[in-house]
């Protein structure tokens, strides 16, 4: 985590271990498709979700976590991000459906 803004991030939490967990959980959310709260010009140039998570926590007040440093679980994030699947009826006939014996 040796990046710019690390000291500012460390001041937001009570320990570097909690900071590591918060950054890792936010990076996982971003990887699962939760959109970034940063404007495109503020986002880091690389595609690394950890760098993006750290940048969000450094300059944005829109990312929140509880007093104990928790974020929503990955299952909660998946339910929020994944589209609802709709079963479509089969519209073609199979050559094996014929009852010609």
Output the domain CATH number for residue 59: 3.90.940.10
Domain count, the chain: 1
Q: Could you tell me if residue 75 is inside a domain?
A: no
40 has a pLDDT exceeding 80? no
The widest CA-to-CA distance across the chain, in whole angstroms, is 78
In whole angstroms, give the CA distance from residue 56 to residue 62. Answer: 8
Q: Distance between CA atoms of 65 and 36, rounded to whole angstroms?
A: 15
Q: Establish if 27 belongs to a structural domain.
A: yes
pTM over 0.85: no
Q: Convert the pLDDT of each residue in 59-97 to its tens digit.
A: 766 666 555 555 566 676 666 656 666 666 666 666 665
Residue 29 is part of which domain span? 6-68
Q: With contact defined as beta carbons under 8 Å apart, do 26 and 57 qualify?
A: yes
What sign does the dihedral 25-77-66-37 (CA atoms) show? positive
- Give, to the nearest 10 degrees, the angle between helix 16-31 and helix 74-81: 30
Whole-number Å distance between alpha carbons of 10 and 31? 23
Whether 50 is in a domain gets the answer yes
């Amino acid at each position: 985590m040796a990046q710019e803004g690390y000291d500012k991030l460390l001041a937001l939490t009570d320990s570097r271990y909690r900071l590591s967990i918060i950054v890792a959980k936010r990076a996982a959310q971003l990887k699962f498709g939760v959109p970034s709260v940063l404007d495109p010009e503020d986002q880091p140039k690389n595609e690394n979700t950890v760098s993006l998570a750290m940048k969000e926590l450094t300059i944005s007040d829109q990312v929140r976590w509880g007093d104990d440093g928790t974020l929503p679980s990955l299952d909660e994030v998946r339910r929020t991000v994944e589209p609802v699947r709709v079963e479509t009826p089969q519209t073609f006939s199979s050559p094996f459906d014929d009852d010609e014996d």
